Structure 1
Amino acid sequence: MSMSSTVPERSEFRSSDLSRSSPAVFAAASDHPIRVTRRDGEPLVLMSESRDRARRRLLELAAQLIAAATDSEGTLSDRLVKVLPWMEALSDGDRADCAEELLSAARASFSTNQPHLAVATLTSWEETAAAIAAGLHTEPVEWLEEDEPVERP
């Protein structure tokens, strides 16, 4: 629900609403998972594919974190490298930071039911590792002066 809206977001619809007012049902499902009740069966949950993908990715990450946490050899970052091999591209310090950030983001995602927190952190670190592996970390960085205006493209 947006901050300016006074109408509560609807999270449950009847199956008949799919044919009678499908735009409202689909709009709600695009925004958040909704429950569709049926007289002849168990209720269904309707959500966007991207939300479902994020939930699946969060469960994959949970399995990887559990595998690393239950291993008894080496540091947590060493154990995570076994299940997330792209971490090999990171320095030892970055591996430790990555492990800590992944655990924190996963805890936040599970406790708030917001998969994007952990998925975004995972993606960010994975893309950083890919850039390092591609040699992009050796390129010199050219910083702009703080008060130097930049033209729009």
Structure 2
Amino acid sequence: MTATLPRRSFQSSELSRQPAPVFAAAENAPVEVTRRDGEALVLMTRAEADARDSLLQFAAQLIAASLDDEGSLADRLADRFDWMLALSPTDREKCAADLVRAARGSFATGQAHLAAAELASWRSTAAAVAAGLGGEELTWFDIPPQVERP
């Protein structure tokens, strides 16, 4: 059994006559609305548009940091993303590498959520570190404790 991909192109007359299928398709992914008398339009959710805007803003910061020649990429990104300063130097380097990798994935696939998720994850990690979480020593059990059956 083959999965069918959602339809991604509609004629403007379809949007006028039966908007529900067009809107349903646009809930899943941006759709193209073609017109005889003008350039095609793209219909997408606000969340999709916001994600794309955020990706462009992130790309602008990444490009600006890559063009600078002072310090490492991690240092240059920390100048643009202040929350990175809460991370250790080693974690800043890993964060920078992860952000670049996620951005490349987002740009290559058109999936803005890849970079957004990585950025949010590292920002949350930095906030947790700044709040003093994660610094305590963990105790690992060699033998799992026995518990009674409920």
Same fold (TM over 0.5): yes
**2-structure distance, mates of 1:11, 1:148:** 54
Q: Where does residue 33 of structure 2 map in the other structure?
A: 36
- Residue type matched to 1:111 in 2? A
Identity within the alignment, %? 52
Residue segments in structure 2 that go unaligned for 5+ positions in a row: none
Q: CA deviation at 1:137?
A: 2.7
Match of 2:43 in 1: 46
When normalised by structure 2's length, the TM-score is: 0.86
Counterpart secondary structure, 2:84 = helix
RMSD over aligned Cα atoms: 2.6
Paired residue secondary structure (2:70): coil
Aligned residue pairs total 147
- AA in 2 matched with 1:24: P
Shift of 1:134: 2.1
Q: Runs of 5+ in structure 1 lacking a partner?
A: none
Q: How does 1:114-153 map to 2 (within 5 A)?
A: 114-138=111-135, 145=144
> After the TM superposition, which parts of structure 1 deviate over 6 Å for at least 4 consecutive aligned residues?
146-149
TM-score, normalisation: structure 1: 0.84
Q: Which residue is 1:64 aligned to?
A: 61
1:18 match: 15
CA distance in 2 between counterparts of 1:68 and 1:146 reads: 50
Query: Aligned pair in 2 of structure 1 residues 38, 78: CA closer, same or farther (>3 Å)?
Result: same
